Amino acid sequence: MSGGLQHTSNIQPILSEDGVNWGVFMESQGEVLRAFIRSRMLGAGESEVEDVFQEVSMVAHSDGARGILEKNAGSWLRGVAANKVRDYWRKVERRGKLEKKVGENVREAANEVREGWSPFDWVMHLERSDYLSEAIGGLDRKSRRVLERKYLEGASCKTIARDEGMKEKAVEYLLKKTRDRLRAVLEKLI
């Protein structure tokens, strides 16, 4: 058997009025297709190979596969499988980058651990940081900018008002509203 999908000699049960009968085709060619996928997923487990095979099967059974002729079915299916395998490796790469970033964040947080902190204190600190990041991320641009200027840069309300083209009382009111919103979000999360 070459690395490709076999051409079936019995065309009748494979063809239907819409083109290839994919159920019959996948049943007769499933192992060959799995071997094709497996050869491009070295290092992946059998369950990952099966997941990709299932994705290819779903494409084959979709409306987009209608009209594919039996003589083109093998090459078309190999193309679909190759694309699904590429998608798998992209997902693995993205997951690796995310895990690396999370690991860096954990190391940074570990460096922040104060002497005498218990593991519980450390976990609570990380959780609060995540909640706070989530809450701040939900703010509109202006509220976030004013909040950061006030609490990260230490700017006065008067300076922020001048720079933002606002009245000082409007900055104070915006900060109060923003703190209230953050407090409400954090109370729900914590």
Q: What is the pLDDT along the chain (190 residues), one digit of tens a residue?
A: 444 444 433 323 344 455 666 677 777 777 888 888 888 888 888 888 888 888 888 887 775 556 665 567 777 788 888 888 888 888 888 777 766 666 666 666 555 555 667 777 767 776 777 777 777 778 888 998 898 888 888 889 999 999 889 999 999 999 999 999 888 877 776 5
Q: Write down the pLDDT at residue 75.
A: 79
Whether the CB-CB separation of 73 and 61 falls below 8 Å is answered with: no
Which phi and psi (to 5°) does residue 15 adopt? -85, 145
Domain limits of the chain? Answer: 15-97, 117-189
Q: Give CA–CA dist 9/139, Å, rounded.
A: 64
Identity of the residue numbered 137: G
CA dihedral 115, 135, 96, 111 (to 10 degrees): -10
Q: Write down the pLDDT at residue 2.
A: 43
Which phi and psi (to 5°) does residue 58 adopt? -65, -40
Q: How many residues does the chain have?
A: 190
The token pair that represents 97 in the structure block = 């980058």
Q: What is the CATH T-level fold of the domain 117-189, as seen in this structure?
A: Arc Repressor Mutant, subunit A (1.10.10)
Q: Write down the pLDDT at residue 109.
A: 58
Q: Does 15-97 match 117-189 in CATH topology?
A: no
Q: 10 Å Cβ neighbour count for 120?
A: 8
Q: What is the CATH T-level fold of the domain 15-97, as seen in this structure?
A: Rna Polymerase Sigma Factor; Chain: A (1.10.1740)
